[in-house]
Structure 1
C-alpha cells in the first residue's frame, strides 16, 4: 500500500507543533486501514517514545488542520 500523498504535509505541520513529533514520524510508516491511520515504528523504543511524548496530540492537530480527522493507532 503506498504512502498517502498528503503525508509529507502532515508530518511538516505536526513537526511545527511539536518538534519531537516530526523526529518520531521520520521513523514511522503510515497506513490507512478502515478509516484509521496506522503507524508502524521500526523499533519498539520508538513506539514507546511516541506513547510517552504527547506527539499523537500534535499529529491529531495537524491532521485536523488539513481536514483529515481520523483515529490514529500504533502497531504493536
Structure 2
C-alpha cells in the first residue's frame, strides 16, 4: 500500500498544532483502508504514547481543517512470520 498523496501536508499541519504529535507520527506508516486513515506503529511504546498523548485530536483537527475528515485507526505492526 502506498502513502496517501495528501499525507505530507496533513503531517505538517499536525506538527504545527502539536510538536509531540508530529514526532510520534514520524514513527507511523499511514494508509487509507476503506475510508479510514490507518496509522501503523512498529513499536508498542510509540503506539501507547500516541494513545495517551492526545495527539489524535491534533491530527483529526488538522485533517478536518485540510478537508480530510475521516476516522483514524491505530494499529501495531506485526512481525512477519519466520
Q: TM-score, normalised by structure 1?
A: 0.97
1:32 is paired with a residue whose SS is: strand
Give per-residue Cα distances to partners, 1:12-67, cap 9 Å, x unaligned.
Answer: 10011110000000000011011100100110000000000000000000100110
For normalisation by structure 2, the TM-score amounts to 0.90
User: Which runs of at least 4 in structure 1 moved beyond 3 Å after TM superposition?
Assistant: none
Alpha-carbon separation, structure 2, partners of 1:6 and 1:31: 11
Look at both structures and tell me which one has the larger radius of gyration over its CA atoms.
2
- Root-mean-square deviation (CA), in Å? 0.7
Distance in 1 (alpha carbons) for counterparts of 2:42 and 2:75: 10
Q: Which residue of 2 aligns with 1:14?
A: 14
Stretches of structure 1 that go unaligned for 5 or more consecutive residues are none
Q: 1:63 is paired with a residue of what secondary structure?
A: helix
SS of the aligned residue for 1:75 comes to: strand
Q: How many residues align?
A: 76
